[in-house]
Chains A and B, each alone.
Chain A
Amino acid sequence: MFLLKASEALGSHFLYYVNQAGRMGIFLLRVFYNILKLPYYKVTHITKQIYVIGTLSIFVIFFTGAFTGMVLALQGYNTLRKFGSEGLLGSAVALSLIRELGPVLTALMVTGRAGSAICAEIGIMRNSEQIDALECMAIDPHKYILAPKFIATIISMPLLTAIFDVVGILGGYVIGVGLMGLNAGAYFSGMYKDVEFNDVYMGIIKSLCFGLIVVWVCSSKGYFVHTERKGGFGAEGVSRVTTSAVVLSSVAILVFDYFITSLLL
C-alpha cells in the first residue's frame, strides 16, 4: 500500500514537471513565432522595455562591476605577487571579467532586479484576468506583452555586460594602480596583449544566452502562475512563483555557464 502511494506520488510529480517543461517549451516557441510574425512592433513598446529592463539596471550593474573589479585586483595582486607576476594583473582582471564574471554576475543581477519584476508583473496580470482580457480582445499576449520583453532583455544583456566589464576593469585599475602602486602602462598593455577576440566573443555569446534564460524562465513562471502545483492564486501565489523564478533562473545561469564554457573553449 505504502509502495503504491509512493509510486503514485512520484508519478504525479514526474507528470507535473514534464507538463510544466512542455508548457515552457511551447511558450518559448510561441514567443519566437510572434517576434518574427508581422506586423512588427511600435518602437515605443520595445524602447519602454529596454528602459525598464536595461537602463534602470545600469546603476546596480555599475556598482557590482566596480566592486567586483576592485576585489579581483586586490586578491589577484596579492596572489600574483607571490610568484612575482604583478604585471599580469591587468590581464587577469580583464580575462576573468570578460570571459566569466561579467556575463554571469550581470545575468544574476538582472535576474534579481528585472527578472523578478517581469515575473511578478505577468503573474499579477494573469491573476487579475488582464491576460484573459487581452485574449478576448483578440490581442495575443505573446505578441503584446511577452515579445517586447524578450527582445529588450536580449538586447540589454550584452550591453549591460559590456558596462560591467569596463567598469570592473577600471575598478581593478583603481586598486592595482592607485592603491597597490602597479604601473598603469603595465596594467593596460598586458590586457591589450592577452585579451583576444575569442574572449570577447565568448562573453557576448554567454550574455545573449543568459538574457534568454532570464526572460524565458521569469516570464513563463509568471504566465503560468495559475497552473502552479501549490496554488498560484493571490499575492502569496505570485510571491511564491517569483521566488521560484529567481532561484530557477539563477541556477540555470550557472549550469549553462559551465556548458557554454566547455563548448566554446
Chain B
Amino acid sequence: MAAIQRPYQYYDSTISICSTCLKRVDAKIVFQDGCVWMLKRCPAHGPERVLIADDIGYYKLARETFIKTPEQVIAPNTSVRYGCPYDCGICPDHEQHGCTLLIEVTDNCNLRCPTCYAGSGPERQTHRSLEQIERMLDRAVANEGEPSIIQISGGEPTVHPQFLEILKLARDRPIGHLMVNTNGVRIANEPGFAERLAEFTPGLEIYLQFDSFRADVLKALRGTDLRSTHNRAIARLNETGIHTTLVATIRRGLNDDEMGEIIDYGTQQPCVRGITFQPVQAAGRLEGYESGYSMVRDRLTLTEIRRRILEQCPVFAPEDLIPVPCHPDHLAMAYALKLDSGLVPLTGLVDPEFLIEAGRATITYEADPAVREHFLNLFSTHHSVTSQTDAMSDFLDKLGRSPPKRLGYANIFRVLIVEFIDAQGFDLRCIRKTCVHIVHPDGKRVIPFDTYNLLYRDGLEKAVLEPLRKRDCVPLNGPISLARYQDPGSRSP
C-alpha cells in the first residue's frame, strides 16, 4: 500500500500565541505550495493557518545562513517568571540587544491615522515630563552602554512642548545616532523648524513618514492628503541637508505597488539616505478596513514586500536584498551607491560571511566604520574587471571605470524592510531575536516593539497580560539561559 503523505513538508515546531486570546499555543512550521505556513491550535479558539513567507528559499536563507552569535544587553531588566512573551523585558532569555530603541515622548499627535500601532491622536493629551524622558533615556544607556540608535517617537514627538529640550537631553548622552520619527507636519509648516533641527546635526536623522504619492492612499492610511506636506517637508530637509530616511507603511492592495516609485523618488532627494518599508502590524488602531482587518485579505509578509521591491525596482536582484543577521527573519536590507547615474547595488557584491561577522550596529551597517570602509573599498581600483563577476563590471561601468573622487558616506543608500511580528505570525524563536525595542514609560524596562504593541502598551498589560499570566502560565521561575554557564557536564542542584 502506498504511504499516505502529508500535503506539506514539515520543517519545525515552535511556540506561538492565539491571535484571539494571545495565549501561548503549540505551533508547527510547514512548507506547502511554495509558501511557509504556521499551523497552530488554541484550545479555546481552534486551529489557525498563517502565511509566514511566500518564498521558502529566502526563509531558509534567513534561518540557516544568516545567523550570528547573539549580542546581549549589559543587564536584563526583568526576571523570567512566566516564560516568553510574558516577562518583557529585556529578560535574561532575550537573544539580541536593542539595535534601535524608541523613546515615546508623547501620546499626542497632530494627525489621527486610521492605522496606528500606538493608538495616538489629537484626543490624547499626555506628554511625558522631561524628568520621565530622562529616566527613559538613562534606561536605554544603562541597557546598551552606548545605544546605537535612539529614536524619539510618540505620538508625534515634535508636538511635545519641550521637544528641542528633549533633543538636548539625548545629545548629552552617549548615543550613536539620534533619530526623530515624525510625520513631517511641523517641519513642513513651521518656518525655521528644520533649521532648529539642523543645529543637532551631524548625529541627528529624520525618520519621515512617507507612504504614498496618491491622495486616496494617504487618506486611507493617514486620514488626510499629505502630499503637499511631504513636498514642503522634503524641500526643507533638502535645504538644511538633514539626513532623512523615508518610512513607508505598506498595506496590501493599497500602496504595495508604489515601492519602486518611492525608491526612485528617494534617490532624487539629496537629503534622503534610505527607505524603510514596514507592512502594517496588526496591533493598536486598525480602522478603515472594510468589515475589519482580515488576516487573509490584508496581512502582508516581508517576503511579499521583498518580491514587490524586486519587481518594481529592477536595479535590485534577489542577492542584493538580504536578511539582517541580528534578526534575520524580520529585517531585510539592501545597500546601494547613490550616484548621479542612479543606484548601484552593493550588498550582492559582499560575501554574506562578512556581513554576518560584522560589527555591533547591525541594522545600520553603514554606521559601523569598518563596514563603511568595506563598502567604499569595493570600488577601489585594485579590483580588476576580469577577475570579478559581471556584477562588479556592471558596477565599474556605471562608475565610468574610475571611482568618483568624493565618494563617501553620503553616497550610501539603504533599503530596509522591517516586518513587525503580529499575533498571527508570532514565533517565539523570532521574538527572542527582535532588536527594535521600546523603552517603557516607567523607565525601568525595555520591551520588544512587537510584544509591546500586543501585550504591554498602555492598558494592555493590566487588561490582557495580567489575566494571561494568572490563568494560563505555569511559572518558569528562572531563565533558560543562565547569566554564566556552568561546566556543560554539570547541572545545578
Indicate, yes or no, whether A interacts with B.
no
Residues of B within 8 A of A (CB): none
Residues of A within 8 A of B (CB): none
